[in-house]
Amino acid sequence: MNNSTLQNTQKGNSVVVLNLPEGELKSQFIRLGITEGSTVKINERLPGGTVVITKNRQEIAVGSDLAKKIKVIVE
Amino acid sequence: MKSDSVLNLSGKNKVLSEVELKKVVTQKEKVVLVGNPNVGKSLFFNYLSGMYVDVSNFPGTTVSISKCNYKNYEIMDTPGIYGVSSFNDEETVARDVILDADRILNVVNSLHLERDLFLTLQLIDMGKKVSVMLNFSDEVKKRNIKIDTKRLSELLGVEVYETSAVKETGFDKLDDAIENARQGKQELDVYFMLQQVMEKNISQSEAMLVLEGDSSTAEKNNVDNGTPDEREKIYIGRRNRVNEIVDQVEHEDSKKGELFNLLGRLSLNPLTGIPILAVVLVILYFFIGDLVSQRIVDFTEGTIGKGIFEYHLKSFVSDYTPADINVNILNDEEEVIDTRIFNFSEGKSANPDLALQFKEYSSQPGAESDFTFLHPIAKLFFGEFGVVTMTTTYLIFLLLPLVLAFYLVMALLEDSGYLPRLATMLDRAFTRIGLNGRAVIPIMLGFGCVTMANITTRILGSNREKTIVTSILQFAIPCSAQLAVIAVLLSGAGVVPLLIFITVIGSVLISLSTILNKILPGESSPLLIDLPVIQIPKMKNVFKKTSFRTIGFMKEAGFWFFVGAFGVGVMEITGLLTIWQDTLAPLVTGWLQLPKEAATAFVMGMVRRDFGAAGLFEIDLTVMQVTVAIITITLFVPCIASFVVMLKERGLKEGLSIWFGTWIVAFLIGGIVSQILI
């Protein structure tokens, strides 16, 4: 278990989301099924830092700058 | 609730006393169909009801409830709900019907177990006798998802039946489902919470609603309802249990699915994604660039629009107003082989003999008639830039097929799941210029029609992104009409001009957006999109989207095309257009080193991008002059329709800044290239 940001994870990692940026982005995440405490899988890390995560078969692409702001625990 | 049922029956047989009625009612158990919206509940109801359905408005609301008798049961349908509570009328009605139900058939969409089981667990927590109908089970098999119904039944503690309501499969088990409906398994902590409320002599169903903060149920039982915090706690607990259950019972294992998944992964990574993009673009080129914008538009615009619509309309107008008509006869190679000018100084109807000659002459194959009206009003509405003639041809016969084709392609790319992956792959590149991957959508559309793309900038997250993309579109993206002409001009010139063209336009695009990204205040929004499964698009959906968007575009942009045409028409009549042409001439000959006639091309380019470039066909240009000309014309102002739509979308100040900016940049860059090359 160690703290990290979504941006610094490895492909294949399972991570628990610790906190999400406040405001509209947070509601967007919740609508997509991700809340603080959710476990997500890192599906793909693209060159340049865009991260693709999976939550219950649903793939979600997170831009690099946003991924830097999301704190996670690597399981 | 009970009294309501009595009232309904009393309508049919008013002689029965209330006591007798209660007997009738209590003899029949109430079976209620419950489910999320669009799970196919009604199909179940229709099957059970046969012909006799009693649809009535629920007292005090406009929500209608259908009832019917089936064997020894009274079946009731309810509105689709996501949970039992009273956030709105439909929920209130469903809540009351559910509270009063003896047995519940819970219809669940197997494709959305995570969403639908939330309601199922709530019904179980309420202590209701439930059977679960897993609908759309055929769709699940098609998509290679496996649902372990036996395990699901164990976890829920109630019977689970697979059905497909559309095909009525599994409906033979409906009797069993009603018969076997029973109370399910409950979480221990929920159970203890319930006990405390139930001690006050409240039923389990109502106790659950009280705990979840349903104030009207609490009021009815004279107790305090739970706080929003308590509700959230119960909801989150239930949500987690749903997720656990789904994890255990749902599996996806398929060869077919894997192929599509692989394709999805490959299109994300630039290493493999860029070749895939190249293949997609080649296919697009053959469909849009070749088939639609050449063959189909040639036919709709040339043959139908100009040849039939404009010819007959203008010919009709020239019956009544003075007109000079220049008719050229062209051979198969588009060369003029014969020409005749008809002068009708008082309109065609004043000179029937000549009119007949004109009709015969202009009806030959290969004839092209060019009408010049002498009366300013006729000119304004029916002339070269006529509000009626040019705009109709442009809108219906040129733009409509193009826009339709582009929206069709976009819908296909979207519904196949490719477009969001393309946006993801390109995200990094776009963030460098202050955008995110989603900007790929308006920019791609810009190659079809910049006007259409201007409207699509609305999907972008922030104002600064909209400004950046709108600028890119007006400065650096040639629309399909213009691309076609550029392609013709370049075809004789070889590869070098093409490379120079791409390099110069590309550099302008990157510098422009980098500068805007630096100077515009605020922050751009980051990429956050869901990537749907890669699949073969459902054509019905695609056609719906395409027609919806096309109609939307025509409605929004159509009017402004008329406004634009009217403006140019006025300029033509007042001679402003000629003055402008003369003013521009020295800049064109001296600085750009192009022939004087090219000035006309630039002025025409303000009206329609392809007019601008097409004007260059007539002039003899060297290879390097062609290069300078197409660079300048591409960077030059957007067409009149795009200009007006841009003003509307981005406001007067920003729109005009961009418009004048294109003047400066086009002549500056064009001139520099010219000074270097020529």
Helix H, strand E, coil C: the string for B14-30 is: CCCCHHHHHHHHHHCEE
Residue pLDDT, tens place only, B156-184: 999 999 998 878 889 999 999 999 999 99
Judged against a pLDDT cut of 60, whether residue B359 lies above it is answered with yes
Interface test with B, best of A28, A50, A55 (most B CBs within 10 A): A50
- Residue showing tokens 């006639």: B597
Asked if B93 contacts B61 with a C-beta cutoff of 8 angstroms, the reply is: yes
Asked if B367 contacts B328 with a C-beta cutoff of 8 angstroms, the reply is: yes
Judged against a pLDDT cut of 70, whether residue B21 lies above it is answered with no
Other C-beta atoms lying within 10 Å of the C-beta of residue B201: 8
User: What's the Rg (C-alpha) of chain A?
Assistant: 11
DSSP, residue by residue, B443-487 = HHHHTT-HHHHHHHGGGSSSHHHHHHHHHHHHHH---HHHHHHHH
Confidence (pTM): 0.66
Q: What topology does CATH give the domain B2-185?
A: Rossmann fold (3.40.50)
Q: What is the pLDDT of residue B253?
A: 59
Pick from B225-239, B406-420, B604-618: least confident: B604-618
Residue pLDDT, tens place only, B618-665: 678 888 888 998 899 899 888 888 898 899 899 999 999 999 999 999
Question: Hey, are the CB atoms on A50 and B531 less than 8 Å from each other?
Answer: no
Residues contacting residue A9 through CB under 8 Å, at least 6 positions apart: A15, A42, A45, A51, A72, A74
For residue B227, which phi and psi values (nearest 5 degrees)?
-80, 165
CATH code of the domain covering residue A57: 2.30.30.90
Query: Over pLDDT 90: what percentage of chain B?
Result: 36
Number of domains, chain A: 1
Domain residue ranges of chain B, discontinuous segments joined by +: 2-185, 393-677
Mean pLDDT of B386-413: 87
Give strand ranges (E) for B205-335: 250-252, 323-330
Domain residue limits at A39: 2-74
Residue pLDDT, tens place only, B432-479: 999 999 999 999 989 888 988 998 898 888 899 999 999 999 999 998
Judged against a pLDDT cut of 90, whether residue B539 lies above it is answered with no
For residue A3, which phi and psi values (nearest 5 degrees)?
-75, 145
Question: Hey, are the CB atoms on A64 and B243 less than 8 Å from each other?
Answer: no
Considering only CB atoms, which residues of chain B are within 8 Å of chain A?
114, 243, 246-247, 252, 264-265, 268-270, 420-421, 423-425, 427-429, 431, 436-437, 526-531
The alpha carbon of residue A44 is apart from the nearest alpha carbon of chain B, in Å, by 8
Pick from B95-109, B209-223, B240-254, B310-324: least confident: B240-254
In whole numbers, what is the pLDDT of chain B averaged over residues? 85
The alpha carbon of residue A2 is apart from the nearest alpha carbon of chain B, in Å, by 24
* C-alpha to C-alpha distance for B18 and B10, rounded to whole angstroms: 9
Pick from B268-272, B315-319, B509-513, B549-553: least confident: B549-553
Q: What is the pLDDT of residue B295?
A: 87
Query: Over pLDDT 70: what percentage of chain A?
Result: 91
Mean pLDDT of B240-266: 78
Nearest to A64 among B246, B264, B428 (CB): B428
* C-alpha to C-alpha distance for B581 and B546, rounded to whole angstroms: 40
Q: What is the pLDDT of residue A1?
A: 56
Question: Hey, are the CB atoms on B528 and A57 less than 8 Å from each other?
Answer: no
Mean pLDDT of B654-677: 94
Other C-beta atoms lying within 10 Å of the C-beta of residue B548: 12
- How many pairs of residues across A and B have Cβ atoms under 8 Å apart? 76
* C-alpha to C-alpha distance for B479 and B449, rounded to whole angstroms: 5
Q: What is the pLDDT of residue A21?
A: 87
* C-alpha to C-alpha distance for B277 and B441, rounded to whole angstroms: 14
H helix intervals, B479-575 = 480-491, 495-519, 539-574
- Residue showing tokens 């979308």: B649
Mean pLDDT of B183-191: 85
